[in-house]
Structure 1
Amino acid sequence: MRVLITGLEGFTGRYLRDELVGHGHEVVGLQADLTDAAALAAEVKRVQPDCVAHLAGIAFVGHGEANDFYRVNLMGTRNLLAALADCGKRPDCVLLASSANVYGNGTAGVLSEDAPLKPANDYAVSKAAMEHMARLWLDRLPIVIVRPFNYTGVGQSEMFLLPKIVALFKRRAGVIELGNLDVWRDFSDVRAVAEAYRRLLEAGPAGETVNVCSGRTHSLREALALCERLTGHVMAVRVNPAFVRANEVRSLCGDPSRLRALIGDWDTPPLQETLGWMLSEAVP
């Protein structure tokens, strides 16, 4: 397949490119700006993709300008869908990356795709709005919406918590400042996420909304303890009130059963293995 990836040079895009190329597919990156509807339409018409993986967007919850979430994550996605619908070739699958943040502050049990959406910040609201908007195009495009829970790996920005923690352990820092240590997250490995996306693109289950998650949670305290065990290094931990978000999602755990029903057996490596991989990379 010829697969158009938006956000090809981003963290996830690079791993998805390697995953797709490794399985014989051709990968093309998007050159146009998502917010430039005319340039985007021309680019899509030229590429004529068989499949699309839409990964581009503003993904850092703490991004300072709220309007950017809506301009890029919502309207940029609408521009892309309009371009695909009018490009003269119906793709086999259009995978749109949403986020498990759309579930909000749900702490009870494991969240399936049928859990109510209660987004608790502008990033999550922009993704929930994107999902609703995308469903207006289901009669014209074979859309699959993925809701990835937290995932990490080599190359993720240190703006995100696990890469920040890993970087400080690698530098043998004496102290780390964090926000709430008692948040629980369902962590996956970016390589496993890329595999799931590739298999969904190949299967093309149009109209589905799919969690991409492990079904297991770890607290930040556990992540720190794993890094201590892997490195033999101990850091003092200081809670910085400036890093504690008022609307923090306390617990996010996903149910991966629909994903496995659609693509077959799939799992992500244990968090310890992912952290070991990240810690083994040379300090830049």
Structure 2
Amino acid sequence: MKNKKILVTGADGFIGSHLTEILVNMDAEVTALSQYNSFNYWGNLEDLPNLDEVKVVSGDIRDAAFCRNIIKDQDIVFNLAALIAIPYSYIAPDAYIDTNVKGALNVAQAAREHGTERVIQISTSEVYGTACYVPIDEKHPLQPQSPYSASKIGADNIAMSFFHAFEVPITIARPFNTYGPRQSARAVIPTIISQIAAGMEEVMLGDLTATRDFNYVTDTCRGLIALAQSEKTIGEVVNIGSNYEISISDVFNKINKIMKKNAIVKQDPKRIRPQGSEVFRLWCDNTKIKELCGFTPEFDIDKGLEKTIEWFLDSKNLSKYKQGIYNV
């Protein structure tokens, strides 16, 4: 990555900010796209210790002309810009199509026009829906169980069509559930940690029986970079995961134990997905990324949770979370 000109869209988000930080530490020339707002606020980028080495650009992935402008002269594009909250996709599905599908199209069009060296289109394990078989490999059927997952299936297919039709060097990266510092409370792990850290004895959650393949954010970013560094991944869909399955209930118990608390769970009806939309089981088969890139995760769930909890216990970080509000 040294001296490569790299654009990270969605850099102001959770994974994007970590990816930006890691790439700068690898001596890449990073341009970070933050969604435009009149406050000149750059989201999670504000917390980067090496922000002065990042070129931050404000704009909107939905604007095709803007995408053509920022992608010009870039060697690699990591497209993380997306709306990702599943509950909000029930409320505003149009916004998910505009941002996720049209955004992927704009990036692919601009990369084709400028002859970009590599494009990594970030997908999600949600496109698989509830597992038909486990572990889930890249040949697993795609099941649009929410407007969000449908929009990401569309984005993946738009991106891949540019590989087949125009030979744009695109890779679809499909991370399973990522967690770690800076993640919003719309995700379950920061929801649990932030409530317990705030002294709440009853933690409000949704379905506890669902299982996930959780991955510490540094591992997800390392996986994305490994995909960009390998010629073998061009035109491929590749999972990023740990090949380890755990229930939400067991994650809650682990966090309770690490934090040395005795909190209990109270189920909040607002946090329950519609029956046909709940993804009850996700378990990653990570064979392909191992074979193509030699990539393996470094963090197990216990080590990752310990580092995440440590970050949340810093009062400066915890103060950013509103524990009494369901974060859609």
TM-score bracket relative to the smaller structure:
over 0.9
Aligned pairs (5 A) from 1:48-127: 48-63=73-88, 64-87=91-114, 90-127=115-152
Matches of 2:100 and 2:139, distance apart in 1: 22
Deviation at 1:180, TM superposition (A): 0.8
Provide the secondary structure at the position in 1 that maps to 2:174.
Answer: strand
Do the aligned partners of residues 67 and 183 (structure 1) sit closer, same or farther apart at CA in structure 2, a change above 3 Å counting? same
Deviation at 1:8, TM superposition (A): 1.3
Matches of 1:113 and 1:125, distance apart in 2: 17
In the alignment, structure 1 segments of 5+ residues that lack a partner are none
Give the counterpart letter for 2:192 in structure 1: I
Matches of 1:137 and 1:16, distance apart in 2: 25
Equivalent residues, number = 280
Kept after mapping to 2: 8 A contact 1:175/1:235: yes
Matches of 2:92 and 2:298, distance apart in 1: 33
Measured against aligned partners, the alpha-carbon deviations of 1:128-176 in whole angstroms (never above 9, x if no partner) come to 1111111221133100001111010010001111101011121221111
Provide the secondary structure at the position in 2 that maps to 1:252.
Answer: coil
**Are 1:166 and 2:217 counterparts?**
no
Kept after mapping to 2: 8 A contact 1:178/1:238: yes
Q: Which residue of 2 aligns with 1:279?
A: 309
Q: Which residue of 1 aligns with 2:286?
A: 256
Aligned pairs (5 A) from 1:201-220: 201-204=228-231, 205-220=233-248
Provide the secondary structure at the position in 2 that maps to 1:52.
Answer: strand
Provide the secondary structure at the position in 2 that maps to 1:251.
Answer: coil
In the alignment, structure 2 segments of 5+ residues that lack a partner are 34-56, 317-328
**Are 1:129 and 2:154 counterparts?**
yes
Provide the secondary structure at the position in 1 that maps to 2:20.
Answer: helix
Deviation at 1:268, TM superposition (A): 4.0
Provide the secondary structure at the position in 1 that maps to 2:257.
Answer: helix
Give the counterpart letter for 1:97 in structure 2: I
Kept after mapping to 1: 8 A contact 2:196/2:203: no
Measured against aligned partners, the alpha-carbon deviations of 1:178-197 in whole angstroms (never above 9, x if no partner) come to 11110100000001111111
Kept after mapping to 2: 8 A contact 1:19/1:198: no
CA RMSD of aligned residues (A): 1.3
Matches of 1:215 and 1:19, distance apart in 2: 24
Give the counterpart letter for 1:2 in structure 2: K
**Are 1:176 and 2:179 counterparts?**
no
Matches of 2:279 and 2:60, distance apart in 1: 31
- Asked which structure has the greater RCO (Cα within 8 Å, sep 6+), the reply is 1
Give the counterpart letter for 1:154 in structure 2: P
TM score, norm. by length of structure 1: 0.95
Deviation at 1:266, TM superposition (A): 1.3
Give the counterpart letter for 1:134 in structure 2: A
Q: Which residue of 2 aligns with 1:144?
A: 171
Kept after mapping to 2: 8 A contact 1:112/1:211: yes
Matches of 1:265 and 1:135, distance apart in 2: 23
Kept after mapping to 2: 8 A contact 1:107/1:250: no
Matches of 1:69 and 1:158, distance apart in 2: 19
